[in-house]
Amino acid sequence: MLWPLPDTWQPRDDAELVAGWRLWLELSDRAWPTAAWDGTPAGAVDQLRGLLDACDDIDAACRVSGEPSREFSGMIQPLVLSASAVIGLWWDDHAPLDSARARSLHEDLRRFAVLAERVLTLLSAHGGWAQLDSARRRPA
């Protein structure tokens, strides 16, 4: 499913600019498990659980100066819904993966990763840090 995102985003104030930066940083490494992954589906979605906590913090910090823009909310809400869906499917599955479940888990994480990449692109293109995004993608 392709989640709808705003076409553009312009930070409405300094708080939303900081929130955008923080969201960009949080998303940069949350779609896939880390090298410390224990091999279980529950362990694979731990990164997404951390992202949900970060999204709550980002949203709360952004609200200190007022209501976030519709565009900013339109980036966070699909991330939260998508991550929640994946977590809901796998959070309590602590069994080692077989090949069929591994394919399903990978597909669920891939769908989230595609959305995260779209939000990263939107943030970098309209938040003024596109050069950082291209540097992040360049191999070392």
Contact 43, 33 (CB under 8 A): yes
| 61 within domain boundaries | yes
CB atoms within 10 A of CB 67: 10
| 67 within domain boundaries | yes
pLDDT in tens, 37-69: 999 999 999 999 999 999 999 999 888 878 889
pLDDT at 139 exceeding the cut of 90: no
pLDDT at 23 exceeding the cut of 80: yes
| 56 within domain boundaries | yes
Q: How confident is the model at residue 140 (pLDDT cuts 50, 70, 90)?
A: low
Closest CA to 11 of 23, 28, 3, 2: 23
| 4 within domain boundaries | no
Count of alpha carbons within 13 angstroms of residue 106, beta-carbon side: 8
Q: Looking at 42-51, 93-102, 121-130, which range is the least confident one?
A: 121-130
Mean pLDDT over each residue of the chain, to the nearest integer: 87
